[in-house]
Amino acid sequence: MDDDPFEGLLRMPGAIKAARGVIIPLGDDISMHVTNVYRKTETEGLTPQEMLLLACCSRAEIIRLRELGNSHDYLLRLRANAIADSPRACRVFAARKKDRPRWTLSEYYRGKNSARNQYLRCLSAKQRHELRKIPAGMALVAEANAMCVGSLLGNVIVVSELLEHFFYFMNVAFFGKSLGVPSPDRGAALLIAARTMLGSEALDFDIDSRGTLNRHAERRVRRLVDDQMAFTFGHEYAHHLLGHVEAATHSPLHMFESNAQGAGGTEYSACRYVHDIEHDADIGAITQICNGGDMMARVASAAMTLFVYLDLMHSSFELAPEIDRKISDSHPAPRDRISRLRASLGPELGLASAEIDGALEVSSQFKTWMAEQVVVQRPDLLSFYGSIYFPSQGPAMKRDRLDF
């Protein structure tokens, strides 16, 4: 095989070099983008379905997935399927795998566990010991949500990478002013966050940066994201510790309402019980913290901020009627979740009532601004499939597949 496995393909008539691989025209405005070329030894013995997993898994992991032996295998399958089902996610993982010859998908995600680990360190030794047995981590699933799944092999906790991006851009929009982020970039961040929640923003932040922050702002925003991710893991861990997953007869328990088919505990949707367990998991995520300095206070503030963000998202879904993003009654309303937290936690924890009112006021101004932008810019501003960039950083628009 050539050193450059794409070289032969590039000699085909009309073929052009892409950022990764080669694009070959097939006529009738149809092109084929070849992103990966594998050696025969890599594919030997694999079914065509299994070959799709080569985009993200090691060969040993693919073999492991033939028979799910434990809940860690189940988490690996959730992660692998989420990538293999999305050509764009495969391109993201091709970039992540670059220059890492000893790649495994599980090892990659192990490196993204810092918020989860930080949270676990703040629990009692007994709870930490119990929870370390639960496979829990990120996956590139297409819905910005988190869930605790009761599989036959045991409970598994999955947090979408998109949720982390949603938090990041919402924090830029809400806190960027005091961090020196220019106003147009804060506006763009708000739109990116809303589009991420709606599923219209391309899932390729790794390979197509929407813009960068100054170092100080980046550090502060990341810290807020870490606290919000810690609360998210804490909420799902609380579902496990409180026995909610078993009670839900193995329906996945989502952090927010889910757009996924049949998810979100549909059989309980009209039941007060589900609202109660969500409130209990919110409170448990905070009160089960027993050390770690100011961690409990930070996670409490992060939880309230996160529900302010979700409240804004709910009220802005009507700005993208083309996307059928339903708000079901499967979960308590975000404002109810804030109120319940405020009533349950001591005054030293979380945002004070006046701070919550202030954040909701800003949120309402943001919604008005987004409604104006839908009129001024384009009616499908929140729903067109693609990417939005920070305007202050020049014409960042790149050509899909050719430049990234």
Distance set, CA 322 to CA 87, 202, 276 (Å): 24, 17, 32
Q: Which residues pair with 25 in a beta bridge?
A: 31
Minimum distance of Zn ion from residue 343's CB (angstroms): 19
Minimum distance of Zn ion from residue 334's CB (angstroms): 13
Q: Say if residues 289 and 273 touch (Cβ distance below 8 Å).
A: no
| Nearer CB in complex with Zn ion: 278/311 | 278
Q: Which long-range contacts (CB under 8 A, 24 or more apart) does 348-353 make?
A: 348/297, 349/286, 349/296, 349/297, 349/300, 350/286, 350/297, 350/300, 350/301, 350/303, 350/304, 351/301, 351/304, 351/305
**Residues in binding contact with Zn ion, number by CB under 5 A:** 3
| Nearer CB in complex with Zn ion: 173/281 | 281
Minimum distance of Zn ion from residue 326's CB (angstroms): 18
Of 20-28, 29-37, 98-106, 248-256, the window that binds Zn ion (rule: CB under 5 A) is: 248-256
Minimum distance of Zn ion from residue 256's CB (angstroms): 8
Q: What secondary structure letter does DSSP report for 404?
A: -
Site for Zn ion in 257-316 (CB under 5 A): 278, 281
Site for Zn ion in 177-196 (CB under 5 A): none
Helices (H), 248-288: 272-287
Torsion 345-347-351-357 (CA) sign? positive
Tokens of 113: 């566990």
Minimum distance of Zn ion from residue 254's CB (angstroms): 6
| Nearer CB in complex with Zn ion: 57/253 | 253
| Nearer CB in complex with Zn ion: 135/332 | 332
Minimum distance of Zn ion from residue 244's CB (angstroms): 8
Map residue 17 onto helix, strand or coil.
strand
Rounded distance, CA 258 to CA 248, Å?
15
Minimum distance of Zn ion from residue 85's CB (angstroms): 24
Of 18-26, 92-100, 252-260, 361-369, the window that binds Zn ion (rule: CB under 5 A) is: 252-260
Of 82, 119, 147, whose CA–CA distance to 331 is shortest? Answer: 147
| Nearer CB in complex with Zn ion: 192/281 | 281
Residues 6+ apart with CB under 8 A from 334: 307, 308, 310, 311, 314
| Nearer CB in complex with Zn ion: 76/139 | 139
Minimum distance of Zn ion from residue 147's CB (angstroms): 8
Of 106-114, 208-216, 251-259, 354-362, the window that binds Zn ion (rule: CB under 5 A) is: 251-259
Of 182-190, 250-258, 292-300, 318-326, the window that binds Zn ion (rule: CB under 5 A) is: 250-258
| Nearer CB in complex with Zn ion: 83/285 | 285
| Nearer CB in complex with Zn ion: 64/337 | 337
- Amino acid identity, position 187: G
Site for Zn ion in 118-137 (CB under 5 A): none
In what helix (H) or strand (E) does residue 149 lie, and over which residues does it extend?
strand 146-151
Q: Say if residues 213 and 223 touch (Cβ distance below 8 Å).
A: no
Judged by the rule CB under 5 A, the positions of this chain that interact with Zn ion are 253, 278, 281
